[in-house]
Amino acid sequence: MFDINEMKKNVSDKFSKVSENKFEPGVSQKKDEPVKTTNTSSQLASIGPSIHFKGELTGEEGLIIDGRVEGTIDLKGNQLIIGNNGKIKADVFAQTIIVNGSLTGELHGKERVHISKTGKVQGNIFSPRVSLEDGAKFKGSIDMSEAKHEKPQSNLQDNQLKRA
Protein backbone atom coordinates (compact mmCIF):
# COMPACT_ATOMS: atom_id res chain seq x y z
CA MET A 1 0.00 0.00 0.00
CA PHE A 2 1.26 3.49 -0.80
CA ASP A 3 2.19 5.29 2.41
CA ILE A 4 2.81 9.01 1.98
CA ASN A 5 4.41 9.30 5.43
CA GLU A 6 6.83 6.48 4.69
CA MET A 7 7.73 8.15 1.39
CA LYS A 8 8.31 11.52 3.11
CA LYS A 9 10.52 9.80 5.68
CA ASN A 10 12.57 8.19 2.88
CA VAL A 11 12.93 11.51 1.11
CA SER A 12 13.87 13.15 4.39
CA ASP A 13 16.57 10.54 5.09
CA LYS A 14 17.86 10.67 1.56
CA PHE A 15 18.26 14.41 1.43
CA SER A 16 19.15 15.10 5.02
CA LYS A 17 22.80 15.16 3.99
CA VAL A 18 22.00 17.58 1.22
CA SER A 19 20.22 19.99 3.49
CA GLU A 20 22.73 19.71 6.31
CA ASN A 21 26.05 19.32 4.58
CA LYS A 22 25.75 20.95 1.23
CA PHE A 23 24.90 24.31 2.68
CA GLU A 24 28.06 24.58 4.73
CA PRO A 25 29.59 27.96 4.20
CA GLY A 26 31.58 28.04 0.99
CA VAL A 27 34.84 29.86 0.60
CA SER A 28 33.10 32.92 -0.69
CA GLN A 29 30.55 32.83 2.09
CA LYS A 30 30.88 34.28 5.56
CA LYS A 31 31.28 31.50 8.10
CA ASP A 32 28.64 32.84 10.43
CA GLU A 33 26.18 33.18 7.61
CA PRO A 34 25.24 29.78 6.22
CA VAL A 35 22.83 29.46 3.32
CA LYS A 36 19.41 29.63 4.87
CA THR A 37 17.06 26.79 4.11
CA THR A 38 13.51 27.93 4.51
CA ASN A 39 12.13 24.41 4.57
CA THR A 40 13.42 21.22 6.05
CA SER A 41 13.88 18.48 3.50
CA SER A 42 10.81 16.64 4.80
CA GLN A 43 8.74 19.66 3.83
CA LEU A 44 10.13 19.78 0.31
CA ALA A 45 8.50 18.05 -2.59
CA SER A 46 10.87 15.90 -4.60
CA ILE A 47 11.49 14.64 -8.09
CA GLY A 48 13.38 11.37 -7.93
CA PRO A 49 16.35 10.21 -9.99
CA SER A 50 14.29 8.13 -12.42
CA ILE A 51 11.92 10.97 -13.31
CA HIS A 52 12.39 12.84 -16.59
CA PHE A 53 10.11 15.89 -16.87
CA LYS A 54 9.72 18.16 -19.90
CA GLY A 55 7.68 21.34 -19.79
CA GLU A 56 6.73 24.11 -17.41
CA LEU A 57 7.06 23.13 -13.77
CA THR A 58 5.40 25.52 -11.32
CA GLY A 59 4.71 25.30 -7.62
CA GLU A 60 4.32 27.18 -4.39
CA GLU A 61 6.45 24.99 -2.16
CA GLY A 62 10.09 24.02 -1.96
CA LEU A 63 11.38 21.33 -4.30
CA ILE A 64 14.32 18.94 -4.52
CA ILE A 65 15.13 17.66 -7.99
CA ASP A 66 17.29 14.60 -8.32
CA GLY A 67 16.01 13.64 -11.76
CA ARG A 68 16.03 15.36 -15.15
CA VAL A 69 13.98 18.44 -15.96
CA GLU A 70 13.85 20.35 -19.24
CA GLY A 71 11.84 23.53 -19.74
CA THR A 72 10.99 26.10 -17.05
CA ILE A 73 10.84 25.85 -13.27
CA ASP A 74 8.96 28.55 -11.37
CA LEU A 75 8.72 28.13 -7.61
CA LYS A 76 7.94 31.79 -6.85
CA GLY A 77 9.07 32.53 -3.28
CA ASN A 78 10.29 29.03 -2.50
CA GLN A 79 13.48 27.09 -2.39
CA LEU A 80 14.86 24.86 -5.11
CA ILE A 81 17.57 22.29 -4.51
CA ILE A 82 19.17 20.47 -7.41
CA GLY A 83 20.41 17.20 -5.94
CA ASN A 84 23.69 15.53 -6.85
CA ASN A 85 22.01 13.47 -9.57
CA GLY A 86 19.84 16.30 -10.85
CA LYS A 87 20.30 17.35 -14.47
CA ILE A 88 18.41 20.47 -15.40
CA LYS A 89 18.09 22.23 -18.74
CA ALA A 90 15.74 25.00 -17.78
CA ASP A 91 15.26 28.60 -16.78
CA VAL A 92 14.70 28.61 -13.05
CA PHE A 93 12.85 31.11 -10.85
CA ALA A 94 12.93 30.65 -7.06
CA GLN A 95 13.70 32.39 -3.79
CA THR A 96 16.87 30.41 -3.13
CA ILE A 97 18.53 28.07 -5.59
CA ILE A 98 21.10 25.52 -4.46
CA VAL A 99 22.88 23.52 -7.12
CA ASN A 100 24.58 20.25 -6.24
CA GLY A 101 24.07 18.65 -9.66
CA SER A 102 24.25 20.15 -13.15
CA LEU A 103 22.19 22.96 -14.59
CA THR A 104 22.13 24.65 -17.96
CA GLY A 105 19.96 27.73 -18.28
CA GLU A 106 19.14 30.99 -16.55
CA LEU A 107 18.92 31.07 -12.77
CA HIS A 108 16.80 33.78 -11.17
CA GLY A 109 17.27 33.62 -7.42
CA LYS A 110 15.32 36.32 -5.61
CA GLU A 111 17.43 35.93 -2.49
CA ARG A 112 20.46 33.79 -3.26
CA VAL A 113 22.07 31.30 -5.62
CA HIS A 114 24.59 28.84 -4.24
CA ILE A 115 26.67 26.39 -6.28
CA SER A 116 28.19 23.63 -4.17
CA LYS A 117 31.46 21.84 -4.84
CA THR A 118 29.69 19.16 -6.89
CA GLY A 119 27.61 21.70 -8.79
CA LYS A 120 28.08 22.53 -12.45
CA VAL A 121 26.29 25.50 -13.97
CA GLN A 122 26.39 26.83 -17.49
CA GLY A 123 24.25 29.90 -18.03
CA ASN A 124 23.40 33.24 -16.54
CA ILE A 125 22.63 33.98 -12.90
CA PHE A 126 20.43 36.86 -11.77
CA SER A 127 20.52 37.20 -8.00
CA PRO A 128 21.65 39.72 -5.37
CA ARG A 129 23.83 37.09 -3.69
CA VAL A 130 25.83 34.42 -5.45
CA SER A 131 28.22 32.03 -3.77
CA LEU A 132 30.39 29.21 -5.03
CA GLU A 133 32.21 26.49 -3.15
CA ASP A 134 35.70 25.39 -4.10
CA GLY A 135 35.36 22.88 -6.91
CA ALA A 136 32.14 24.33 -8.27
CA LYS A 137 32.08 24.75 -12.04
CA PHE A 138 30.53 27.83 -13.55
CA LYS A 139 30.56 29.34 -17.00
CA GLY A 140 28.35 32.28 -17.81
CA SER A 141 27.33 35.69 -16.56
CA ILE A 142 26.27 36.95 -13.16
CA ASP A 143 24.10 39.99 -12.70
CA MET A 144 23.98 40.94 -9.04
CA SER A 145 22.50 44.37 -9.51
CA GLU A 146 19.40 44.25 -11.63
CA ALA A 147 16.06 42.99 -10.33
CA LYS A 148 15.32 40.25 -12.82
CA HIS A 149 14.43 37.63 -10.30
CA GLU A 150 10.73 37.25 -11.06
CA LYS A 151 9.46 35.28 -14.00
CA PRO A 152 8.22 37.73 -16.63
CA GLN A 153 4.49 37.81 -17.18
CA SER A 154 3.00 36.38 -20.33
CA ASN A 155 2.79 38.53 -23.47
CA LEU A 156 -0.94 38.91 -23.01
CA GLN A 157 -0.48 40.35 -19.53
CA ASP A 158 2.35 42.55 -20.79
CA ASN A 159 0.13 43.97 -23.51
CA GLN A 160 -2.65 44.62 -21.00
CA LEU A 161 -0.20 46.47 -18.76
CA LYS A 162 1.09 48.54 -21.68
CA ARG A 163 -2.46 49.53 -22.61
CA ALA A 164 -3.22 50.50 -19.03
Partner 1 sequence: MLPQLQPALSEYYSDNAEPLKTRIFDSIWQTFNQPNSTRVVKPKILDLGEAQPDSFNFYSEQAGYLTIADCIQPLSELAWPEEENPNQALEKKIKEIIPPTFTQYDLILSWDSFNFIQPKILPYVHNHLLNFCTNKTIIHGFLFTSENRPKQPSVFKILDSGRIKHAVSNDESRQHTPLTPLAINKYLPNFQYARSVLMRSGLQEFMLTRK
Contact residues for partner 1 (CB under 8 A)? Answer: 26-28, 129-134, 136-145
Residues in the chain: 164
Q: 53 vs 138, which CB is nearer to partner 1? A: 138
Q: How far is the CB of 131 from partner 1 (least distance, A)?
A: 6
Q: Note the maximum CA span of the chain.
A: 54
Residue 132 C-beta: closest distance to partner 1, Å: 4
Cα–Cα dist 18/49, whole Å: 15
Q: How far is the CB of 145 from partner 1 (least distance, A)?
A: 5
**8 Å CB contact between 26 and 114:** yes
Please tell me the distance from the alpha carbon of residue 61 to that of residue 95, in angstroms, as a whole number.
10
Q: Which is nearer to partner 1, 51 or 144 (CB)?
A: 144
CB 105 within 8 A of CB 89: yes
> Nearer Cβ to partner 1, position 28 or 84?
28
Distance (Å, rounded) from C-alpha 99 to C-alpha 131?
11
Cβ nearer to partner 1, comparing 90 with 115:
115
| CB of 89 vs partner 1, minimal distance in Å | 16
The CA-CA-CA angle for residues 95, 22, 80, to 5°, reads 25
